[in-house]
A and B are shown apart, each in its own frame.
Chain A
Amino acid sequence: MKTDTQVGKTPSSKGRADRGPAPGAPGRLLFLAAILLPPRFTPARVRYDRRYRTLDKYRFIVGFLAVPLAFYALFVVSPFLQAIYYSFTDWSGGPVANFVGFDNYQKMWNDDRFWDSLQVSALLLVIAPVITLVLGMFFAYMITSGGRHRRGQAIAGVAGSSFYKVVYFFPQVLSVAIIAVVWGRVFNTNSGLINGGLDKVGVTGPAWLGGDSTLGVISLLTVISWSFIGFYVVLFSAAMGAIPSDIYEAALLDGAGRTRTFFSVTLPLIWDTVRTGWIYMGIQALDTFAICLVMVPPHVLKVTPVFLYERFRDGQYGYATSIGVVLLVLSMAFSLIVMRAGNRDRIEY
């Protein structure tokens, strides 16, 4: 190639050691200018330089990435960095924010209200993904392969499965605020749907959101799982649909029943999706803000984001952001742990 002959005067110096441009090669300035020039207007001297190809390649990539990356930096990275900075200040929303070192974190460490809220959040973080994913997987399996075997088909969903798929997704379409208000009514002690039903069969229902924090957590878990299951049903049925049916046929020929097929074929093959869903649901559970704020009275229990919100409301912005930073660290730690724990060999199919 021409570029080779131009640069490599001596064949032995072709490696990385040969940094400087060979005599006759274009200058640095010309090269910089070439970044912005289309190839047509680039001097031949530059165009036929060995390094021009690298430049052209990266210029192409940068051209596509620059705008999105700039947006990402402006609207995602910079708020994060600012939040981290403000968590070390006593900012109260005004023009002044004094640097106070780790005072906010120290205050958090000694604040019982923070630990109480974190306890609830941690509980949700552990339990909510389990309930949601297990139920989501069960429903998805029923939809894709739970039905009777029809002629010529290795697997089939239960009757009306496409209808269910839509119905399960309904809660996802509703606004979170509406979900919280409606369920708040359902859990009402005196006039709620649940206690009304219990009344009919002669049982006096408890005060679901009336103060007992265990009942409060149960109510909260119910609503979170209810509202997210639909999403996972759709997610998992898509993943299950991607599994080639000849694998199922083989399993069927080997005499595997539905349970065996699920655990030995389906689950291992959709494991990546499950892991992603687990992380996603965990973060959702850690961030159960709106439902808790609207549905659960603050004296029953509160999750950490609600506690954070209350600090914002009281103008303790510095303290509130430090709580936000702790939540960020927790979400990242959770993701890493799940990624590590859920790491298995990928099965290609």
Chain B
Amino acid sequence: MGATSVNRRDVMKRAAAAGLLAVPAVGALSSCASGGGSENKAEKGKKTKKNPLGVKEDAGLTVYIFNGGYGDKYAQFVTDMYADKYPKAKPDQKATEKIATQVQPKIVRGKPTSDVVNNSGAEQMNIGKLVHNKQVADLGEVLDAPSWDDPDVTVRETLVPVVEQMGRFGGKECYQLNIALTVYGNWYSKKLLEDGLDSAYPKTWDEMLAVCKKAKAKGIHGWSYPGGHPRYMFFSMYAMFAQRGGRDVTEAMDYLEPNAWKHDAVKDVFEAWEELVAKKYVLTGFDGNQAHTEMQTAWTKEGKCVFVPNGSWVENEAKDTTPKDFAMTVGATPSLDSGDKMPFGTLYAPAGEPFIVPAKAENRQGGLEWLRMMYSKKAAVNLFKEVGSMPVVKGAIDGEDLPSGTASAQAAIKAAGDNIVIPHFMDWYNELFREDFNNMVHTFMQGQIGPKQAMDIMQKASERILKDPDISKVKKA
């Protein structure tokens, strides 16, 4: 900015005039000239075939990784890849449990010291606010770039589509990229279902009820409900809303549209579950903070129930109580009837572990390149080997030796194809899920309220959030 208007003689004169006071002022001027203001001050190199993002080879790179359940070894692998390709850059990886404290102040001041950030954990930065304040870069450039393994295929084409969907905040731009997939659904023991109950996985709700009835005759509950964490029910219910009513229904929920929760599809799903509850097919009594582990123990070790609502982390979490021949499997949502808008196999499978690049990162291209490497096959396989999570890179872990739950989750994703649904409102308006759905579904699973009240409560909550001036809304593009 003002660099040209202040020449050295002027500065000297002013310094002489103003004495010591001028020194900090000069500092401010020069930092203004080198730092903010200009749009693309980030260091850039030449774009070539080998360097499609135009990374400046000797520009330093700082990577911040959330040091949580995943650790940071999986990311060090990528940082090492970067060091191999750009030895002069000397990339530096920092692991922290407090992403927000470490990274956010510098981003807010417009002088980020980080070039790519794993924005995760309990202390993650509020991505909605970052997007709102234009502090994160559009990552579309990475998605458009040729992929690491095959220059003829773009990065976008190598990824499952939810990655891009989950990076969008109402517009076309993609502000965050996730690296691991979670598959939610109805988890069961293939052994118990096929050998013990002599049944196949129910593809319709009637079949589901039949399996539950059969189980009941054997003294086993068809389902189970972790009362201490009612939200788990969402893991099995959400895809049903979509499957029954199509994407319009779930989109209406995301954008807090009027009567979003009063749609017939929502009613049908609640009614289906109401029948299950009324017939006492559901194993209850798991209260308190450890409800999910208690439920999983009853499910794996004690064989007290057939299905549990859960996500793909359960295989790892319940490892200690799972018998060897349990054959943990995830099943997609059974169809209600032929009136369903989406086919059987519709899956609630979001991507997790988000990464962002600060809008004013000094080595923005390097940050983007790091993400391109993260989406390489070998980094994806490494991610799976390090932390056991499914990478978002399509087919990356085909042929690997997968445990049964992960294998079934992979198969479910393949079977779902494009029919993968994601509740954006969970990111955008978290309290609608964490508080309102959670509290409502508990009374529902206890049989205290029916479908009508359930819908009323959710609709009212949705309207409350729409009116709340403290919550910034995501507008439909």
- The answer to whether A210 touches B470, judged by C-beta atoms less than 8 angstroms apart, is no
Structural contact, A188 and B287, CB atoms closer than 8 A: yes
Tell me the bound Cα distance from A211 to B284 in angstroms: 12
B469 touches A210 (CB 8 A): no
A325 nearest CB across to chain B (Å): 16
Expressed in whole angstroms, the Cα–Cα distance for A184 and B294 within the complex equals 14
Which one of B216-224, B253-261, B437-445 contacts A? B437-445
Residues of B contacting A297 in the complex (Cβ-Cβ under 8 angstroms): 227-229, 287-289
* From A107, A207, A310, contact of B287 by CB (8 A): A207
Q: How far is the CB of B396 from chain A (nearest CB, A)?
A: 36
A315-B123 Cα distance, complex, nearest whole Å = 12
Would you give the shortest CB distance from A230 to chain B, in whole angstroms? 26
Task: Tell me the bound Cα distance from A184 to B288 in angstroms.
Answer: 7
Assess A90 versus B438: contact at CB under 8 Å? Given A207-B285, A207-B287, A297-B288: no
Please judge, given known A-B contacts A90-B469, A94-B108, A111-B464, whether A210 and B285 are in contact too, CB under 8 Å.
yes
Kindly state whether residue A92 has any CB partner on chain B within 8 Å.
yes
With a 10 A CB-CB cut-off, give which of B288, B294, B443, B471 has the most chain A CB atoms: B288
Complex alpha-carbon distance, A191 and B294, angstroms: 10
Confirm or deny: B173 has a beta carbon within 8 angstroms of a beta carbon on chain A. Answer: no
Q: Chain B at the A interface: mostly helix, strand, loop or mixed?
A: loop
**A222 part of interface (Cβ distance < 8 Å):** no
Residues of chain B with a CB closer than 8 A to A94's CB: 108, 129
Q: In the complex, A189→B290 CA distance in Å?
A: 12
Decide: B435 and A298 in contact? CB cutoff 8 A.
yes
A121 to chain B, nearest CB (A): 17
Indicate if the CB atoms of A90 and B470 lie closer than 8 Å: yes
| Interchain pairs with CB closer than 8 A, number | 75
Asked whether B433 is an interface residue with its Cβ less than 8 Å from the other chain, the reply is no
A191–B290 Cα gap in the complex (Å)?
Answer: 12
Question: Quick check: A298 and B470 within 8 Å, CB to CB?
Answer: no
B126 within 8 A of A: yes
Contacts of A107 in B (CB 8 A): 468-470
Q: Which one of B435, B442, B470 contacts A316 once the chains associate, using CB atoms below 8 Å? A: B470
Contact, CB under 8 Å: A190 / B470: no
Q: Within 8 Å of chain A (Cβ to Cβ): is B86? A: no
Q: Is the beta-carbon distance between B469 and A190 smaller than 8 angstroms?
A: no
Q: Is the CB of B126 within 8 A of A315?
A: yes
Judge if B431 is at the interface, Cβ distance under 8 Å: yes
Chain A: minimal CB distance from B394 (Å): 35
Is B430 in the interface zone, CB < 8 Å from A?
Answer: yes
Q: Answer yes or no: B286 CB below 8 A from chain A CBs.
A: yes
Whether, in the assembled complex, B76 has its beta carbon less than 8 Å from a beta carbon of chain A, the answer is no
> Beta-carbon contacts of A67-108 to B below 8 Å, as 1s and 0s?
000000000000000000000001010110000100100010
Does A209 sit within 8 A of B, measured CB to CB?
yes
CA distance A30 to B291 in the complex (A): 76
Q: Which of A190, A191, A299, A316 contacts B439 (CB 8 A)?
A: A299
Q: How far is the CB of A295 from chain B (nearest CB, A)?
A: 9
- Kindly state whether residue B446 has any CB partner on chain A within 8 Å: yes
Binding site for B on A (CB under 8 A): 90, 92, 94-95, 100, 103, 107, 111-113, 184-185, 187-191, 207-211, 297-300, 310, 314-316, 318-319
5 A-B interface contacts by CB (under 8 A)? A107-B468, A189-B227, A207-B285, A208-B287, A209-B287
Listed in ascending order, the chain B residues whose CB lies under 8 Å from chain A are 108, 126, 129, 227-230, 284-289, 294, 430-431, 435, 438-439, 442-443, 446, 448, 460, 464, 468-471
Given contacts A92-B470, A297-B229, A310-B431, 6 further A-B contacts (CB under 8 A): A94-B108, A188-B287, A189-B285, A211-B227, A315-B129, A318-B470
